Amino acid sequence: NNCPYKVRRFNWFLYNSNDEFDYHMNDDLGRMVLNPDVVVRSRGVMEKCSMCIQMTQKTILDAKRDGREIKDGELKTACSAACSSGAMVFGDINDKHSKVAKLKEDNRMYHLLEHIGTKPNVIYQTKVRNTTEA
């Protein structure tokens, strides 16, 4: 797997033959290491961000069960939920009234490698530089 966006991560862990790991699986904290909604790959497999598909699916299913639309800002990834500054935003870009769709219209936004036509779903914002001399 050779990701052009340099977001790959190498899985160094081999859970299935680690005796210490099996010991810790007997308590609640140890069981939280594995997320049953995410595939646990074996050691040596390259991994990329899944955009927390398990969190997205849970939000969609909860809204469907409640018979309602998904609210703007309700869809979150782990990194966007943990970002206290609000610099990472996740949402439905097809909803013209959503925060993420409004942010897309800012002239500071750009896609990585957009000049080669990859059309990624991740949008970045350029750094604000104060070039005015005092």
Q: Burial level of 75, CB count in 10 A (0-12/13-18/19+)?
A: buried
Mean residue pLDDT across the chain: 76
Higher-pLDDT residue of 61, 31: 61
Q: For the whole model, what pTM was predicted? A: 0.58
Where exactly are the structural domains of the chain? 1-48, 53-125
pLDDT at 35 over 60: no
Taken as a whole, the chain contains a residue count of: 134
* CB-based contacts of 112, cutoff 8 Å, min separation 6: 5, 118, 120, 122, 124
Distance of alpha carbon 32 from alpha carbon 128, whole angstroms: 39
Distance from the Cα of residue 111 to its chain's centroid: 16
